Chains A and B, each alone.
Chain A
Amino acid sequence: MFEAIAFYLFAFLTIAMFYITVTTSQALYALTALAAGMIFISAFFFILGADFLGAVQIVVYSGAVMALYAFGMMFFDTTREVQEKKGNQYLVVGLATISAVLAVLIFSAPIISDNITALYPVGTHGNTQEVGMVLFTKYLVPFEVAAVMLLVAMIAGIVLAGKKMDESLTLMTEEEIKDMRAEKMRPKDLK
């Protein structure tokens, strides 16, 4: 009973928030609605008994990702209205719906045929403990690879958007880079 009430309430809120994100013409409204929708999605994870996933959702999405977007938006001119593509709206909505239904059917096909068995059954421990046990045994290598990928992303972010942008190689033309190299090669006392 309460599960049903919670599900319908959060489903309505999530759909409303993401609808605002997709349709509004103000970038700031879109960002705020997206952050709210992320928090509402974590409610589904708590309902489903995936406590650790819900906590990670709140920390990573509404904390880190939204803060990154907020910092990124300070670089852009967010006060002006966002321009939209002028196209056939019905075609867009129809194509999106068909693709979404197809994607979900692909996911649920093996479930409907009852062809799956639980490899890692949910036991009697808490959710966080079980997630840890599975993550550090079977999924240890993907976990490490994900860690390396996050490191690569962090270095890429620092190189691309870090300080000293006036000397960044990504922003310079070829001539400027050559000039800078020549400047560095020249001995100081000859200047």
Chain B
Amino acid sequence: MIEIGLNHYLVLSTILFAIGLVGVMKRKNLLMLFFATEILLNSVNISFAAISHYYGDLTGQMFAFFVIAIAASEVAVGLGLLIVWHKRYNNIDLDFMTRMKG
């Protein structure tokens, strides 16, 4: 209980991942869906850093860096598309985006 091991971090990462998945499944607003995706990416980053620390290997941290880079570009492109969609239809609900034709 007092000694913090790898399992503690893995359990924490599981809890955060579950919270993010609940958000992805129950949100209808696309902006809120993006927030939930950020939570998912961050929980994975925690487990990468923890494994990297407890096994004395830097590769986990490297992957966490690349995950952060991917998250940043996802936000840039996703928010741009979202703004275009909102200017055109004045609505960012998922149920409204059921057809693929632009």
Contact = CB atoms under 8 A, between A and B. Distances in A.
Interface of A: 1, 3-4, 7, 11, 14-15, 18-19, 21-22, 27, 30-31, 34, 37-38, 41, 44-45, 48-50, 52-53, 56-57, 60-61, 64-65, 68-69, 71-73, 75-76, 82-85, 87, 89, 92-93, 95-97, 99-101, 103-104, 107-108, 111, 116, 118-122, 130-131, 134-135, 139, 142, 146, 149-150, 152-154, 156-157, 159-161, 165, 168, 170-171
B29 A82 contact: yes
Contacts of A111: 6, 51, 55
B68 A60 contact: yes
A14 B46 CA distance: 12
Contacts, number: 229
Nearest to A91: B25
Main secondary structure of the interface of B (DSSP, over half): helix
A48 B52 CA distance: 9
B65 A157 contact: no
Given A44-B9, A61-B68, A84-B28, A75 B14 contact: no
